Amino acid sequence: MTWHDGRVTAPLTPHDQPPPLPQYPGAAFSGDVSKDGRAAFTAELREGALVAVAVAVTGVVLGLLWLWLAPLIPMVSDGKAIYLRDSEGEEAVGADGTFVLLGLAMGAVTAALVFWRRRRGGIGVVLGLAVGGLLGSVLAWRLGVWLGPTSDLIAHAKEVGPKVVFDGPLRLRAKGALVAWPAAAMLVHLCLTSAFGPREPQQPQSWDTSYPAPHPAPHPAPGQGPFAPPADRNPADRNPPVQGSGEQDPWQRGPEHGSPERGGPAF
């Protein structure tokens, strides 16, 4: 490497070389993750999968409770068509509402159980809780429909006969009710972790509030300081002569001293 100033070109000595630039912050981690990181990630995934499976299995409980507590829609047939016994009934809405309430309760219970078993939490636990709650809701929905009254209304009406009231199939019309369980589980788990989760030990901090006393500024000696007169100045210049003290102004001398008053110098 050389440097140029327009006239002379000279090589740079080794000690004149510029220092190397530091690597960017993530350069050391641009390769594969370390073994410890892979092991921790694998353990987190395994733990989340176990939580998801355990929570999803409890969907059987939700399905049985929904089948037991949800109101069924009464229907009747006249031999030609099938009608609702009560056209203004709210049984259909009641089935969806029952599923939502049971899903919220199951979410709170499963979140409390998971927090009790895995108090330290983690992203794997939270994701497993959410995925397991969603799978449990789907399982409960399909189980309740399968164990409930048949969905073949025509065959059911012919079986019971005309003018006989029978129960319609159990249906979930509002599919958004499926997310009630995972939403409640994540919310309750977050609250429990914030309130009762383990805390990292805090390092004691010592704050030094003692400050040294300020030193007073030194006072300048007489004749010194920013406003002192210059040292090389003649003391006589600082005290000009006062008129009448002995020496007379040459312009005030009379003609006898050769001082011009009006007509110039006298000869």
Q: What are phi and psi of 4, to 5 degrees?
A: -125, 135
Higher pLDDT, 249 or 168: 168
- Residue 28 pLDDT greater than 50, yes or no: no
- Rounded to an integer, what distance in angstroms lies between the CA atom of residue 1 and that of residue 215? 53
| Residue 148 CB contacts under 8 Å (≥ 6 apart), including other chains | 67, 72, 169, 170
State pLDDT tens for residues 227-255.
Answer: 655 655 555 555 555 555 555 555 555 55
The pLDDT of residue 30: 46
Taking the domains of the chain in order of start, what are their residue ranges?
57-195
pLDDT top residue among 226 and 102: 102
- Write down the mean pLDDT value for the chain: 75
Q: Output 26 or 95, whichever has higher pLDDT.
A: 95
- Percent of residues, the chain, with pLDDT higher than 90: 30
Region 52-74 average pLDDT = 93
**pLDDT tens-place string over residues 120-141:** 778 888 999 999 999 999 999 9
Close Cβ partners of 255 (under 8 Å, ≥ 6 residues apart) = 261, 266
pLDDT, position 160: 79
Cα–chain-centroid distance for residue 22? 30
Which of residues 178 and 209 earns the better pLDDT score? 178
What is residue 55's predicted lDDT score, i.e. its pLDDT?
Answer: 95
- Higher model confidence: residue 10 or residue 136? 136
